[in-house]
Chains A and B, each alone.
Chain A
Amino acid sequence: MEFAELIKTPRVDGVVLHRPFMPTVEGTLCLTGHHLILSSRQDTTEELWLLHANIDSTEKRFVGSLGTIIVKCKDLRVIQLDIPGMEECLNIASSIEALSTLDSVSLMYPFFYRPLFEVIEDGWQSFVPEESFKDLESMTDEWRLSEVNKDFSLCPSYPSLLTVPKDIDDESLCKAASFRHGGRFPVLSYYHKKNAMVMMRAAQPLTGTNGRRCKEDEKLINATLCAGKRGYIIDTRTIAVAQQAKARGGGFEQEANYPQWRRIHKAIERSNVLQDSLIKLVEACNDQSHSMDRWLSKLEASNWQSNVKEILTTACLAAQCIDREGASVLVHGTEGTDSTLQVTSLAQIILDPACRTIRGFEALIEREWLQAGHPFQQRCAQSAYSNGKPRSEAPVFLLFLDCVWQILRQFPCSFQFNENLLIMLFEHAYASQFGTFLGNCVAERGKLQLSQKTVSLWSWVNRPQELERFLNPLYEPNNLVIWPSVAPQSLLLWEGVFLRWNRSTKCLDEAYQEMVHIIEYNKELQNKVNSLRRQLAQLETEDKMVADLK
């Protein structure tokens, strides 16, 4: 298929663009296979380059022969294009519609994008499982790297290499896999060096209504417990939801079969509920005419903040079990690809200082989201303005980022990165020139040959020129576990994402610049003082030598 077939009108002159906080621009609108471009052909005004993949939905209106297209983007921005001529407008609208809803992954922009920078470090190779296993090996010899899922036949959504208890052979793993939803048997997620406790993740056990059990599954998770120690199973669903799952063949671990484990149920919502929550929240944020009462009631009704609170609370619980109770933890929900990953990744941010560095955070996303098989392509197919029938879209990753932002805000000195990195990840998860978030699991990415045919997001982010934008000037490495407050009054609306296009950030940006300035000035002074101290010390030794000679 050629893109040209979809582009009915490649360019229109005299189009007026309205964007939040920017002067209106009149210019020429061009449609290419992947971009909507508006340029006034003057140097003074910034051009608009919008990826079709970023377009969530469009609306058109006509007043006489003047057509207007409202373009609502996945990054929550809303722009307006006034197009003279009804036919042109209709053509543009239907072309955008077609180009922004291409079904085939291989037609996506990352396959066509050629970087304008030299790739120094290939992001596709930056975080390989073998490397993280080396780190683990340096701390403990209780674990091994299994190739049982080499051809993705045991568990299609898992990577080919998995960290499992040393004493459990591949045959047992196969049996355990057959007892877990989607073959997602318990694997290592995190090893807490301080007390050798671990966090594992899996999908729900397939106990069904007649209470099936699986000795290998029991043996597998018991292998992670020290003698006489108990562990916690954190089921991210309420007990009622978990009970209902039995009817569909799922279920939860029965106490009788897992006597060394205590099960705790939490109430993280399922993905379709989360999508509804996002739509309502963004709707509330975008209506500036709300009275105070109406705004607060809409914010409450969206349940977004409740979702943030529940996810963070569950992550804190997991971290608490490990660090304070000295117990190992197994986390799962239903499929083990959504709420489970929110919890395991946030718990690591709380527990592990390494995850609060840029590299460590990238590695965490790679490990706990991409390789762990969060279906990015399905979940991020549509964002808050989707008006079609919901399929499997859900802001699972965005909620994770929101929770990270909450912790970052409470511990502004404990993270090497700043809010910009989180916002950037949100944007790229939904629409990107990079291939990182394409596909739903490692197997799919392999088939798409992403690492050969597309550029990794990390190749770009980790360039020193780009990194600078994401560095937190207040960062002071902090080796402690950080316990965020989950009290409602401690959790705020993430304005950087949800009010980003609704209010100017000029004053806040100035404040940020001032902060950077204060810290840079301090560093400069420190350097000067240090060099003078060295000079002084040198002069003194010289003095002394002269004196000694005398």
Chain B
Amino acid sequence: SHANFQCNKVICWRATASIAWAVLLLPPTTAVFVILSRFSIFHPMQWLSECLSLLLSINAIFSLILLSGVIIMVGFLNLEYYTVIPTIACSKIALLGQLLHPRQFFSSLVHGVMGMVVGWCCAVTVGGRYETLGYSCQQSDDGGPSQMCLNEYHLFLLLSGVFMGFSHSLLGVIHNMNYVPFHTIQQYKYLRFKESIPLVVKCSASQALYSMRNFIVLYFFLGHIPKGWICQTLQLEVDRSAHALDTVGGLLDLSLLYHTWISGTFLLFTWYTTLQLFRIFVTEVSFPVQSSFTDNAHQCLAKVIAEKQPIILKFLALQDLALLSQHSPLRRAEVFSLSQPGGHPHNWIAVSKECLSLLSDLTQRLVTYHDTVATNGRAKSLSTGSERKNSCLGVCPLHHRRRLLQPLTAPFTPDLDSPFSSPALRRLTAPVEQCSPWHGTVQSPHIARRGHKLWSTSAGEQQIESTAPLAPRMTSFFVFNVQLPEASSQALFADSQAHIWALEGLSYLVQASFTEDQFGVVQTTLPSILSSMLVLQEAVDRHFKLPHASSKPVRCSSTMGDCSYKTLRFALRAALKTALYRITTTFGEHLNAVQLSSEHRKKLQHFLEYKE
């Protein structure tokens, strides 16, 4: 639809802006790289003048253009693969499935190629013995005709670039690097970026070190294969007088290690920066609640919040709701206002309805999960239709499967475009019913469940069908298929950031309504808000009594992959309690006048007495 397209344009523009900034940051980064790579403490003047002349040379400019191309490609892949709901692998085999998935494999391949391009740029920039792939050499001592020999140092940098790119892509899957987390607090983009630079530098330096170690081991054992292949295809000779690099002596060259490490750091730094900029740009938004201009009507909060697609816009709208309900009395007034002809509280109805449906969706999901666990997770046929899905423990957020079904299964389905086509573009044009992650969430209890699952929560049905023959269920298979503890619980709450905002938004609005709601529009929904929160509270409490649900995940070390999704269930539990307390503290004894079931009233009394 038109509105959808407009909203998607917003995201695309943001991504473009982030890529533009990443490209603009490239020259200073390259300058720092050049200075560090040609570091010589004994000849500081010569060192600096060399660097300056190099930076102004044609070579450097050509490298910069190439690197800009790489950055644009990386930025494009970020836009392609990003998600606001993390994909959580529930077993090791599921993780393996994710890694070997054609869509992922394609991404890894592209990253490898781009890594090689960056490696080439680094080799050219560092210069000296790294500069060219071939050089003329005297093969025999008796002064025979000179030949072109393979420069193994150049090849080493190229291959390390490939390896870094490839491992970056694989680690990205393991650490959920494509997950776009929303910041705990609101900050200006510049400040946020400035404060994330130390982390980016630290991550890229340490990651480059680890990748280099792995690459050296790999090259030591398998280095002769690419070397021989290159020599054969390019008809280069191996210089026997030079030291071979796939030996212990060759790899113990400190200068080579330093240059490899600094090139790897440079590569990862530019890519991480691009990713960080993308995350910062894409998570910032503010919607007008009620626009007076008809042009922007589709961009107002009440509309966007009810949209199904794209999911990030819904998240942004919910975040905006949580913020406006907390900070902005003027915008709250618009939420409480009545429509001019007719006098209906359209804004409040749209907002509260959407938030309540989110909460009831989560409640339903938790109840279904609990029922499944209660029957020991055994296969249970509740199938009411042809739809067959599998997941962590029989049930998982439906939108996971729906969401990734389209982009992830693209290579499997011939009717869709080639993997080279952009799902982002497809998202722009796809009908809402097809790709809506929020579509059909009401059906969740009716989903068929299976005992064993081959793929992660996000695996779609086509995937299962097409890969099942490839992976017969052998005994060893089940060894890998051991459930990762608490993964199913994590998967259940993977999108809970939306629920947290819904809870915050609702509770702040209800709190503000105590004084600001002139027409009493909130009063009419207060009983349903309270009861849906209390029902959810009960379901969440029940869930936390399950084994693994309340065990804390391992604190993640500082990586670029944000792992805040692992603790979302705790955040949701805390937000739910706080939301209920916010309402009970504000209304106090007045809540006794609200129509509630006796059970809920008893529960509410606990909150009024601060006993929860």
- Judge: A and B partners, yes or no: no
